[in-house]
Amino acid sequence: MPRIDALETGSSTQRNGLNHQAIEDYLKTIYSLAETETPVNTSRIAEARQVKPGSVTSMLQRLAKLNLVHYEKHYGVTLTDAGEKIALEVIRRHRLLELFLIEALGFSWDEVHEQADVLEHVISEKLEERIADVLGHPAFDPHGDPIPDKDGAMLTIPSQSLTALAVGETAQVARITDDANSEMLRYLGSLGLIPGSTVTILTVAPFEGPLTINIEGQEKIVGYAVAKAVLVTPA
Ligand SMILES: [Zn+2]
């Protein structure tokens, strides 16, 4: 797969004043925001990356010059084929690293996202492939997110948020949304809301109130925001 290195001519870390990490992080953000709504507008990117809309705009103009995105001010942004390839490559490295850190190095599932966010920009293709070999070419990461293969192909499993289920419905936890932070993951782990768990909705309080959920045979009360981060598939 093409890597960002392939785009570079001069220095190994800079091109047009942009470094790898910034380019890869933006492409990754645009890719994941486009999963819910595309084209992606500047304010959503600014919110996701916690930067000012003005700096997003100038970044998008630079990415457009590199032919990594299509960008029009009042329309929004979409990834070009080249931009999408790089985004999927970074996502592959991130998710493989998360699984590797848990399986091989004994990290817990709430610790690995931050580590992977740094390492995803620096590991070589050789190391990436060795990790994939050692893990047996897994299709999912520890949070239930699909891992793209070397060609960028990725299994997508239709899922919906736990909050979309009706009272009495049973489902299986498929994945935790990527915006769940370590604290949230620890809490979800303590509730038993992890990929593979079976859940049944017992009661739902109105106005985005808490849900009572049977999680693997135990009755638990779960806040709305927490339940929203949990994606499920029919059991
Ligand atoms: Zn992650």
pLDDT tens string 206-219: 999 999 999 999 99
pLDDT tens string 57-99: 999 999 999 999 999 988 999 999 999 999 999 999 999 999 9
CA distance 119 to 98: 10
Q: How many angstroms does the Cα of residue 202 sit away from the middle of ligand 1?
A: 30
CA distance 71 to 62: 10
CA atoms within 13 A on the CB side of 2: 13
Q: Mean of the per-residue pLDDT values for the chain?
A: 90
Domain ranges of the chain: 1-156, 160-234
pLDDT above 70 as % of the chain: 92
- Given a contact cutoff of 8 angstroms between Cβ atoms, the answer to whether 166 and 201 are in contact is yes
Asked if the domains at 1-156 and 160-234 fall in one CATH topology, the answer is: no
Q: How many angstroms does the Cα of residue 144 sit away from the middle of ligand 1?
A: 10
- Distance between the two ends of the chain, CA-based, in angstroms? 36
Element (H, E) at 175: strand 170-176
CA dihedral 116, 118, 124, 127 (to 10 degrees): -30
- Given a contact cutoff of 8 angstroms between Cβ atoms, the answer to whether 26 and 82 are in contact is no
DSSP state of 220: E
Q: How many angstroms does the Cα of residue 48 sit away from the middle of ligand 1?
A: 14
CA dihedral 94, 122, 129, 189 (to 10 degrees): -30
Q: Which of 27, 148, 139 is nearest to 81 (CA)?
A: 27
CATH number of the 1-156 domain:
1.10.10.10
Q: How many angstroms does the Cα of residue 177 sit away from the middle of ligand 1?
A: 9
Element (H, E) at 214: strand 211-215
CATH number of the 160-234 domain:
2.30.30.90
List the structure tokens of 212. 């009572």
pLDDT(112) > 70:
yes
Q: How many angstroms does the Cα of residue 117 sit away from the middle of ligand 1?
A: 7
pLDDT(178) > 90:
no
pLDDT tens string 4-46: 554 443 334 444 456 889 999 999 999 999 988 899 999 999 9
- pLDDT for the residue 6: 44
pLDDT tens string 191-210: 999 999 999 999 999 999 99
Q: How many angstroms does the Cα of residue 56 sit away from the middle of ligand 1?
A: 22
Could you give the strand order of the β-sheet that contains 198-204, starting from the edge strand earlier in sequence? Answer: 160-161, 230-234, 170-176, 198-204, 211-215, 218-222
Q: How many angstroms does the Cα of residue 211 sit away from the middle of ligand 1?
A: 26
CA distance 156 to 133: 22
Burial (0-12, 13-18, 19+ Cβ within 10 Å), 8: middle
CA distance 191 to 162: 14
Q: How many angstroms does the Cα of residue 187 sit away from the middle of ligand 1?
A: 16
Q: How many angstroms does the Cα of residue 143 sit away from the middle of ligand 1?
A: 8
